[in-house]
Amino acid sequence: MAARQALQVHLDLLSQPCRALHILLACTRLPHTVRHVALRRGEHRTPEFTEINPMQKVPVMVDNGFILTESDAIIKYLVNKYDVPDHWYPRQPERRARVDEYTAWHHTHTRPHAAKVFLLEVLLPAQTGSPVEEQRLIGALSQLQETLDQLESMFLRRQPFLCGDDITVADLLAVCELMQPEGGGAGHPAGSPPASALEESSSSCCGRRLRPGARRAVRPERPAPRQAVTSHRGAGPAD
Ligand SMILES: N[C@@H](CCC(=O)N[C@@H](CS)C(=O)NCC(=O)O)C(=O)O
């Protein structure tokens, strides 16, 4: 019988969903190998990467030949398949449904609205050298603010985490997304009280500061990693 192949993830830590997956793997100490895919260098468009993900996006997971895309599906697969603490994605149906409720909402609200602000404020000006399109940015910021208001009134009402009293995968997805636009400047909606409180709670649960990692990740001058492959053998959270 062929030997089982180790879990492998293809990531660029500039990407919000990749960071959520990376933090989950670090916090749960699941042995895995990271293959770095530098989006800025177009490494997601190579024939080799397109072979494993024809959509040319990160993250991608390969578990003993089983290829899976979409951060949400990958994260939930890992916590279902492996022996990780139950709080990440509780088995109790109502508690699990609360996580699914947020993650469904996340992909239509938090993610697109936070990502749009980052695109207009940081990415497009950096890529094109053009000034920020102020009117579009004002619109995007107000949409993000509205999403944060809903996040607070619907999910964070009277509880420290999005889905209850303990951290779940929903918090990782949310915090990684909300840290991204804050790279664009201070006084941002993403640094508002609900976002900061969630980040504080999540950071203390993960035993590390989540934000400095993200700040480093969005700095354009961040040097490329020397090695394209990194092995993580049950190492604790590293940043
Ligand atoms: N819904 C996907 C989104 C994946 C995604 O959009 N990844 C971005 C980085 S954040 C990407 O790979 N972009 C490359 C491209 O679109 O060219 C997920 O949650 O995994």
- Alpha carbon 21 to chain centroid, angstroms: 6
Nearest CA to ligand 1 atom 10: 15
Q: Using CA atoms, how far apart are residues 123 and 143, in angstroms rounded to an integer?
A: 18
Model pLDDT, residue 122 = 87
Q: Kindly give the number of the ligand 1 atom that is closest to the alpha carbon of 69.
A: 20
Task: With a cut of 70, say whether residue 192 has pLDDT above it.
Answer: no
Residue 238: predicted pLDDT: 34
Average pLDDT of 87-108? 97
Could you tell which of 57, 58, 70, 103 is best to mutate to test the pocket of ligand 1, judged by most ligand atoms within 8 Å of the CB?
57
Q: Quote the DSSP letter at residue 164.
A: B
The model's pLDDT over 162-171, given as tens digits with 9 standing for 90+, comes to: 999 999 999 9
Chain CA centroid to CA 172, Å: 6
Which atom of ligand 1 is found nearest the CA of 37? 12
Instruction: Give the separation between CA 156 and CA 139, rounded to whole angstroms.
Output: 24
Q: Which of 14-18, 108-112, 197-201 has the lowest mean pLDDT?
A: 197-201
Cis peptide before 17 (omega within 30 of 0): no
The number of the ligand 1 atom at minimal distance from the alpha carbon of 45 is 17
Instruction: Express each pLDDT in 4-43 by its tens digit.
Output: 888 999 999 989 999 999 999 999 999 999 999 999 999 9
Please answer whether residues 176 and 17 qualify as being in contact, where contact means their C-beta atoms are separated by less than 8 angstroms. Answer: yes
**First CA to last CA distance, the chain:** 38
Q: How far is the CA of 28 from the centre of ligand 1 (A)?
A: 23
User: Do 89 and 76 form a contact (C-beta atoms < 8 A)?
Assistant: yes
For the chain, give every domain's residue range: 8-85+220-232, 88-218
Same fold flag, 8-85+220-232 and 88-218: no
Residue type, 236: G
The residue contributing the CA closest to ligand 1 atom 18 is: 70
CATH 3.30.450.20 assigned to domain 88-218? The reply is: no
CA gap 125, 81 in Å, rounded? 42
Contacts of residue 132, defined as CB under 8 A and 6 or more positions apart, other chains included, come to 120, 121, 124, 125
Distance 105 CA to ligand 1 centre (A): 17
How far is residue 13's CA from residue 179's CA, in Å, rounded to a whole number?
13
> What superfamily would CATH give domain 8-85+220-232?
Glutaredoxin (3.40.30.10)
Pocket lined around ligand 1, Cβ cut-off 6 Å? 15-17, 39, 44, 56-59, 70-72
